Structure 1
Amino acid sequence: MRGIIPTALLAFITYIIFTGSAKPFDLATGVVVAIGVGLLVGKYLVQSDAKALNPVRWLWLGIYFIWYMLVAEVKAHLDVMIRTITGSYTPGIVKVPIDVKTDYAKTLVANSITNTPGTVVVDLDDEYMYVNWINVTTEEPEKAKKEICEDFEKYAKKIFE
């Protein structure tokens, strides 16, 4: 049963949000899909029910989502637009240390970087990420980390560690 309930709950919520409907048919379909997803992959996705159901982690996830969409994405889009218009950029791949330990936290950080315009994670190991960056301002790993992923790691630690 480990992981089935949290996975099914998340699948149901996601289904309802994306369908945008609370009609009985859609709710019933959502329950069936959620139970199926929970049974098929729940035991692989969730390491501990206690962690997954911790409301503080869910709160931090909500805060992170809002911050990411309203702050990180907007800043990155504006930066890329300005660089595209002015032609002022110096692309390159930089080595960035990663301080989060769990696979979930590493995935959140790497996906956040990749989904943010101007940066793409091209490789990831236990200690470093290699990031293709639209405007390399430093090749020093610690300074690059501060500019690229420090905020993402802060939230990833609160959510997954």
Structure 2
Amino acid sequence: MRGVAATALLAFITYIIFTGSLTPYDLVTGVIVGVTIGLLVGRFLVENDAKALNPVRWAWGLVYFLWYFLVAEVKAHLDVMRRIITGDIEPGIVKVPLKVKSEYARTLVANSITNTPGTVVVDVDENYLYVNWINVTTEEPEEAKKEICEEFEKYAERIFE
């Protein structure tokens, strides 16, 4: 039964958020969907229930979600809009080191970079991400990391490691 509870809880919360409703029908349907998904795939997704259900990790996930959509995304959109208008771009691919080791943390960092305007992860290996960047200001890996993904990695580490 490893992973069922954590997966069911996440599926339920996701269902309720997407329906945008707390009617009894949606709550019951959400429980049914959550439990079903938890039973079907929970054992494949979660290695440790205690870690997955840790409220501190969920709180960091919420903080990250809010920070990402209210700060990081807005700043990136404004920067890309300015670059489109001015034509001030210097595109290229840079090598960015990663210190997070879990697959979930690495995936969160890579997806956050790709979903942020102006950057796309084009390849991943054990210790590095290769990022297509709209305005390469440095090719030095540690400096590129500071500009591209240091904040993402900080949150990924708190949530998943």
| Same fold at TM > 0.5 | yes
Cα shift at 1:21: 0.9
Q: Structure 1 residue 76 and structure 2 residue 76: aligned? A: yes
After TM superposition, the score normalised by the length of structure 2 is 0.98
Q: Deviations over 1:87-118 (max 9, x none)?
A: 11011111111110100100010010011000
RMSD over aligned Cα atoms: 0.7
Match of 1:139, SS state, is: coil
Q: Which aligned runs of 4 or more in structure 1 are off by greater than 2 angstroms?
A: none
The whole-number CA distance in structure 2 between the counterparts of 1:20 and 1:154 is 30
Cα shift at 1:29: 1.4
Once the two structures are superposed, the pairs formed by residues 78-117 of structure 1 within 5 Å of their partners are 78-117=78-117
Alignment match, 2:57: 57
After TM superposition, the score normalised by the length of structure 1 is 0.98
Aligned length, in residue pairs? 161
Segments of structure 1 that go 5 or more residues without pairing to the other structure are none
Q: Deviations over 1:38-60 (max 9, x none)?
A: 11111111110010111111111
Alignment match, 1:33: 33
The whole-number CA distance in structure 2 between the counterparts of 1:77 and 1:85 is 12
Q: Percent identity?
A: 75
The whole-number CA distance in structure 2 between the counterparts of 1:114 and 1:47 is 26
